[in-house]
Amino acid sequence: MSTQKIAAKKPALWKRLWFQIFVAIVVGVLLGNFWPNAGKAMKPLGDGFIALIRMMIAPIIFCTIVHGIGSMRDMRRVGRIGLKALVYFEVVSTFALVLGLGAAHLTNPGENFSSALPANANAVQGFVKRAAEDTGVIGHLMAIIPTSFFDAFASGDLLQMLLISILTGTALAKMGDLGHKISKGIDDVGQIFFKIVGFIVYVAPIGAFGAIAFTVGNFGTASLVSLGYLIGVFFLTASFFVFVILGTLARLAGFSLLQYLKYMREELVIAFATASSETVLPSLMRKLERAGVSEATVGLVVPTGYSFNLDGTNIYMTLSILFLAQVTGIDLSFGEEMTIIVVTMLTSKGAAGVTGAGFVVLAATLTLFPQVPIESLGLLLGIDRFMSIIRTLTNFIGNGVATIVVARWEGELDRAKLKAVLSGKEPVAELPKDQLA
């Protein structure tokens, strides 16, 4: 089919999902700004949409990974993909942490900050309590093991789902023809869950409207003004990371980052409105597969990346710690800053796309550095939702790029199909909503 025919079949602008969500966001901002109480009342709409998507993540991850691994004859290939993904995650995540420190030293966002430490210590206490329960390497490792096979489905923990999915897929791969038949059946079941997500996507504009209306109505613009410089530094640092670092990696892998962002525009808008990358995880996996990435690579790299490849969260962590240290007049030594990087590499794992998780991880890290007053976290409470949006978008883009790079590295990428899809020669991005997810 020619490009002209494909273009002629494109739906009207008002029928396209990304445009509907964009309009919903604009209306939500206006409602939250001019009628704050009404905006705050829209919170259930956003929460409901996120809950609908989250309930589908566990079965989709299970079906995708089990079929991807179970259909493989060479298990060493699975091991290579997983190992290369982890190597990529650690290298890029470390760079993100260092970039956050560098941005803090270059811009000094906490110096000459006139606000005194906030009196809302009680608001911070809840986060500190949760953070204290999550710290420790042993605690992180033990948390990967669910109390039962089905408890992982109930809790929706990504690392737990990854563990039982890999074990199940490996078992099927070792069962010969019977295992492959079961794996095919699981893939057929997975299509049901993707179809359900497609139905849920139809209400994405409503969810985006509710989430953004609540955010603006609840937090207003005052917090943006008082800490706007820090938000601006974070935004520029994250943008540098995305367009320079990830853009370079994308080019080395043979694709255009800008074309990739256009391909994922619906997911980016949803992630922006909900401040949660979990809402677009199923759609990310399906779109990467349709762009030429093998199912096994998508199934392994994407869920693992949601726990181990949190580039936006890493930048936020080191930038925020240095900001709070500058505000409170604490001069951290070079050794202490290097310790922060090492500790943050551990505490950031598992802070997947749940809204506000980055703030909890920051609290967990600060509990290990008593020289920075934990009460100073209250300065960031009012702007965390806005910081979360930047974290979410950076994490989401980073995981998509990582999956394609690892697939190219391992030879699991159909480069011709990727080029055709991203350039718009194949009308994948214009399929009906129930086929986008």
> What was the pLDDT predicted at 281?
84
Confidence (pLDDT) at 288: 93
* Closest by CA position to 22, among listed 269, 390, 392: 269
Contact 171, 179 (CB under 8 A): yes
Q: Which of 341-355, 362-376, 384-398 has the lowest mean pLDDT?
A: 341-355
Q: How confident is the model at residue 349 (pLDDT cuts 50, 70, 90)?
A: low
Confidence of residue 259 (pLDDT cuts 50, 70, 90): very high
Say if residue 99's pLDDT is above 90: yes
**CATH no. of 3-436:** 1.10.3860.10
For the chain, how far is it from start to end, CA to CA, in angstroms? 24
Q: Does pLDDT of 403 surpass 90? A: yes
* Model confidence at 355: pLDDT above 60: no
Six-digit token string for 276: 């949660």
Angle between helices 281-290 and 295-308 (to 10 degrees): 140
Mean pLDDT of 161-171: 85
Which residues neighbour 274 within 8 Å (Cβ) at sequence distance 6 or greater?
46, 49, 50, 207, 208, 211, 355, 392
Bigger pLDDT: 56 or 114? 56
Q: What are the extents of the domains in the chain?
A: 3-436
Asked whether the predicted pLDDT for residue 350 surpasses 80, the reply is no
Q: What percent of the chain has pLDDT over 90?
A: 21
Q: Which band of pLDDT confidence, cut at 50, 70 and 90, is reported for residue 249?
A: very high
* Whether residue 114 has pLDDT greater than 80: no
Q: Which two tokens stand for residue 267?
A: 């997911």
Confidence of residue 106 (pLDDT cuts 50, 70, 90): very high
| Sequence-separated (6 or more) residues with CB below 8 Å from residue 203 | 49, 52
